[in-house]
Amino acid sequence: PMNNGRADSTSAPAPVERPDETGHTELEQHAERLKERVYVTFTALAVLIALGTHAHEETPGKAALTLFITVAGVLMASFCADLVAHTVVHQGLPHRAELRHLLRVTGGALSAVTVPLLLIGAAGLGWMHLDAALRVGQIVLVVTLGLLAWIALRRVKLPLWQRLLMVAALIAIGALAVGLEIAAHLF
């Protein structure tokens, strides 16, 4: 039982997470993967918005390539930043398990663009217009931000209203990003 946000003396202690061979707990690994997905989702959202403002000049193939290259570049930059940070903190290069962990965190974020790429592919097959595919992709990514927030917060011991507030805030920030990108392209 919780009392004013604090456990009382009769509550059982929380289970202790043990680090794996990389020194990370399961919760830390989960948080790192979610953080990377949020970064990639915002990047993909910005790319889709920029492509959407010029959809009449784009081809589905060029749009898909632009999205993939941009996200791949961001992921490579993120991997390099994590590699440098790891080297500085641990005063040495990562061991095999640590390197696998860094690659898994970085590579897993690529899945954030699966649906937008499938939508652009549908436009390439003539099943929908490219501008519609880009708009639906933007909506999917904003909803994805909310889902990522919910996934991240489902284990957090906060009142439901605070978790919902954080989910709403992330969705609002995603929608604001859409608005800012559109405004930037109008001026």
pLDDT of 2? 44
Q: Would you call 13 exposed, middle or buried from its count of C-beta atoms within 10 A (0-12, 13-18, 19+)? A: exposed
Question: For 85-135, what is each residue's pLDDT tens digit?
Answer: 889 998 999 889 888 888 888 888 888 899 999 999 999 999 999 999 999
By the 8 A CB rule, do 105 and 33 touch? yes
What is the token pair recorded at 107? 């590579």
pLDDT of 15? 45
Q: Give the distance from CA 75 to its chain's centroid.
A: 11
Share of residues in the chain with pLDDT > 70 (%): 87
Q: What is the mean pLDDT of residues 29-35?
A: 81
Asked if the model's pLDDT at residue 22 lies above 60, the reply is: no
Name the more confident of 16 and 38. Answer: 38
What is the token pair recorded at 76? 């490579």
* Distance separating alpha carbons of residues 56 and 104, to the nearest angstrom: 37
pLDDT of 68? 94
Q: How confident is the model at residue 24 (pLDDT cuts 50, 70, 90)?
A: low
Q: Considering the entire predicted model, what is its pTM?
A: 0.77
